[in-house]
Structure 1
């Protein structure tokens, strides 16, 4: 089929107004980044001049003009390398070109990468005026570039006393006046440029006279830690549990352990600098997922910023740094375990739920924190490390209901059983059993608890024979067998013992019995011969008080279900109603 149009070469037609609007309004999170981009350009210009003239003193001057009538203006001046006429066209009038590319690329002392930072100024101004004199041509005239948000610009030579360097002049567009006010500009300059290594002044005020937190002077390790914690309180409005030094390839900083428990799925929101210029205080994905309990302040000189310059590009270099920073945190926590265990215990006490959730999937995290994770046991709450030191083998039940039933019996025997019912605990113990086989970690079937009960003597079995017969008769249609053993605590009348299959049938069918009553009961009610009330029931059974004994056994059955947190279904509720009615009427 022939095409209706002739084939011919062509070029894209670009709507400059639309492109400027797209980039300036949708690339950046906030209009306030215009200060960051202007500071970046000024710092990079100084770095470029120092490559041309080593030892030159760099400086950035900011002036805010707030006339009584009219829009406020911001003027930023640097003594950097400046621009030639050709560079004005190539770099300011060609979107995407950057002075950090070509012959000057790559240099670690340059912050910017994409050559579109000046567009951020169109978020707050309809026109940008750049006056510049190139240090490459000291005798050349100063040039003025005026760019407008519709995509048009013009360049002209000007008579100016400006030495080598660049001056950028903005007048606030309608609706953006507050963003160019002196107070707002001062806050933004301090926020983004507060750690820059060359002087930045707004009028007579030096805005970057503070040392980075990882360079604060310290005479002792304790003082260094206190300096870091003080910085977090003052700058981050955070009172952390600890401060962790961070060192990686081209990266340094601090990690602060949060004093509250965040969600493992929440954003990490780290404060990141690129060669001491703030990129963002809400950067995510800087650390491994398991390190969700810390917030970082870091400075990088080797990572690649993303296009919006509010974080770092996901590449192999960032993967390496992320792994190295994670290792710093692990090593620090290991040092705490060895030298300051109370500090580590405090950290785990706050973050154990989230740590447990991640330890299930992160083997290294599990091995690091396992001994410090707290668990509920029949002998009280303790860490897994404490349990290992006191008891050696570890036995756990998977369901909270089973634990509630087993715990008082195990405690009375001095036996430590771990509650594996809370979220992730039993899964964590299963994984730990595989990673540390010497710990002898295994699940305890609640039905095995009966094996620890004392057998009755021949005389005692004869004494309770009638009670066993009446009790089995009363509970047979429930699919429950009866046995009598002696166990502690003596205040417990009975315990209900059922396997997993039995529990599932009760949950979904409302009954242990599946069809006709089985010859072998699916569950057992174990009456406690050490309990005085059970011995009294045995005496009444021998005396032939059949209905009284049956009602009492049925009541003990319902009580055992409730103590084990087994739900009562229609069959048990009807049984309880009959027992209560019989007691009220005092029949039999």
Structure 2
């Protein structure tokens, strides 16, 4: 035995308002869409008429506001009202026609009016002939249908009447309605009017200049007009305008280059129109992921919207359109490299992350602009082209602590080391090495320390023993080296394993007994790397003086202060032990200074 589905209209309305549509104001879009489709259908019949859509507000003191929305499109007959308005999901457009000609295709748009009104009244007269009919629907799913007298003043078309609820009267204010109509219908080819008895606006009387720019000559004057428009009307500054077009999907519009840096996680809005009706301001799946430094204003004629009409189906047409936009944005950046290098530098300075991401994906693009990428090095910020002009391999460090240690001595040896800890830097350098064959060396502080000039230990053994004793309990050993710069008295080298041990020690201070046992086991894995190295520079006068210092207390304190100084210069985190040494050492030195001053006075 077969049974028919039963539809709970209240449940459908809840689905529309809470899950399908992002904002109740989309009822304005749905009414506009139905009006545009009706006019399009009537024009297809070959009739000669002046198309128009009018939204009229009725405001009476003591009553909730009402809205009358009229189009002079094709209208509906009595049979069509029964078939299309009383059947959930049935569209008055055949699917093939809907995809190619009309804006709508799902047959649920009129129900969105229930999000702002308790009932929907529709009066319509078909261009095919017959009397007008009145359809009155309630939110509980009931409706009545009445055939009206056939009078001469009842023209072809459809009028929808709504009465606001107490919680939705905001959407029936003149300014709110005008802005919604202008937002959704600014590009529509048919005039859209709004009035309330005292105020009137033709909301789409002037087309935004970006659409003309996208389809016109794209002259400098048109470009400036677009920039002026987005500045005044959209409160958006833009560095430049890039025309966008794709035969696939029928895409036309512009990409605005943002004047501030962005991140991949910081999604940008894109204002997208479908057949010149606003689809949404948050359409996310039309642009390539790397292009998060642009905002787009686009009109689309041949892509397929989802049921909410706020994004597009992922199909072959969308894939092809996205690929075309990808190519055009890439060609824009490539063009700057040859015709306007200064602008390319400014663009990369602001949007280095998305541009570097694209370069990693695209070898020809990488070869074209890689030399313009800027990196932090031990000799200052350098473009890759300037860095490569130096002899030797590309040297890079992928750990910030390691870079800070290396930077103190690398430049003195004529080495420029890249601090490749920032997003994409290390992959870009590896890619450059792979594509060009330029040697790439990933260095660390330990390897640099091994390269420092050894000093013959003869006669220095006792000195090193005294220095080690001064640092007892700090898990640090002393060696004597010669290195540049000569004004750097000491260099502290902490391996990554030693850094892990320090982190474990900090965690143990706040850990409970159970977690402390786990840390003990973890610490055992790094037991062989427990000792840091303090390299004293024999080229420095203070270190040479220390060789002859006999006062053990003063010697120990000076070694400790050199250790603390090297700690600070290397940007190593200060533990409680180092902070205590710093405080005690400064106190001793002040006392020594006061004592020397006092003795000087006595003499």
Give 1:535's aligned residue. Answer: 544
**CA spacing shift, 1:385–1:133, aligned 2, 3 Å:** farther
3-state SS of paired residue (2:319): helix
- Report how far residue 30 of structure 1 moved: 2.2
1:85-104 matches, within 5 Å, as 85-101=78-94
Give 2:500's aligned residue. Answer: 504
Q: Output one character per residue of 1:458-498: Cα deviation in whole Å (capped at 9) or x when no partner.
A: 8xx77867645644565587665544333322221011234
Give 1:5's aligned residue. Answer: none
Give 2:51's aligned residue. Answer: 58
> Structure 1 CA distance, aligned partners of 2:578 and 2:123?
90
3-state SS of paired residue (2:4): coil
Counterpart contact for 2:353–2:424, Cα < 8 Å: no
**CA spacing shift, 1:534–1:121, aligned 2, 3 Å:** same
Give 1:149's aligned residue. Answer: 139
Counterpart contact for 2:99–2:304, Cα < 8 Å: no
- Report how far residue 291 of structure 1 moved: 1.8
Give 1:4's aligned residue. Answer: none
3-state SS of paired residue (1:291): coil
3-state SS of paired residue (1:94): coil
Counterpart contact for 1:194–1:208, Cα < 8 Å: yes
Give 2:400's aligned residue. Answer: 400
> Structure 2 CA distance, aligned partners of 1:45 and 1:534?
92
- Report how far residue 362 of structure 1 moved: 5.3
3-state SS of paired residue (2:437): helix
- Report how far residue 238 of structure 1 moved: 1.1
Counterpart contact for 2:394–2:417, Cα < 8 Å: yes
Q: Output one character per residue of 1:57-103: Cα deviation in whole Å (capped at 9) or x when no partner.
A: 4322333333345343322332322222221111111111112225x
- Report how far residue 229 of structure 1 moved: 1.9
Give 2:419's aligned residue. Answer: 419
**CA spacing shift, 1:15–1:353, aligned 2, 3 Å:** closer
1:24-43 matches, within 5 Å, as 26-43=19-36
> Structure 1 CA distance, aligned partners of 2:186 and 2:554?
85
- Report how far residue 572 of structure 1 moved: 5.3
**CA spacing shift, 1:400–1:327, aligned 2, 3 Å:** same
Pick which of 427-436 and 311-320 moved more.
427-436
Give 2:437's aligned residue. Answer: 438
Q: 1:228 aligns with which of 216, 226, 229?
A: 226
Paired residues, what number?
565
Give 1:19's aligned residue. Answer: 12
Give 2:192's aligned residue. Answer: 200
1:438-587 matches, within 5 Å, as 438-450=437-449, 453=452, 467-468=463-464, 470-471=466-467, 474=470, 480-508=476-504, 523-538=532-547, 540=548, 544=550, 548-569=554-575
Give 2:382's aligned residue. Answer: 382
Counterpart contact for 1:65–1:74, Cα < 8 Å: yes
Pick which of 569-578 and 277-286 moved more.
569-578
Give 1:181's aligned residue. Answer: 173
Give 1:335's aligned residue. Answer: 335
Structure-1-length-normalised TM-score: 0.84
1:296 pairs with 2:292:
no
Structure-2-length-normalised TM-score: 0.82
- Report how far residue 274 of structure 1 moved: 0.4
3-state SS of paired residue (2:328): helix
**Runs of 5+ consecutive residues of structure 2 not aligned to the other structure:** 507-522, 596-603
Give 2:164's aligned residue. Answer: 172
> Structure 1 CA distance, aligned partners of 2:503 and 2:24?
58
**CA spacing shift, 1:377–1:520, aligned 2, 3 Å:** closer
Q: Output one character per residue of 1:498-527: Cα deviation in whole Å (capped at 9) or x when no partner.
A: 4444443444358xxx99xx9999553322
3-state SS of paired residue (2:63): coil
Q: Output one character per residue of 1:103-133: Cα deviation in whole Å (capped at 9) or x when no partner.
A: x624523111111111122223333232222
Q: Output one character per residue of 1:245-281: Cα deviation in whole Å (capped at 9) or x when no partner.
A: 2222211222222333344223332211101101211
3-state SS of paired residue (1:298): strand
Pick which of 499-508 and 179-188 moved more.
499-508
> Structure 1 CA distance, aligned partners of 2:565 and 2:371?
37
**CA spacing shift, 1:178–1:239, aligned 2, 3 Å:** same
1:110 pairs with 2:102:
yes
Counterpart contact for 2:275–2:299, Cα < 8 Å: yes
**Runs of 5+ consecutive residues of structure 1 not aligned to the other structure:** 1-7
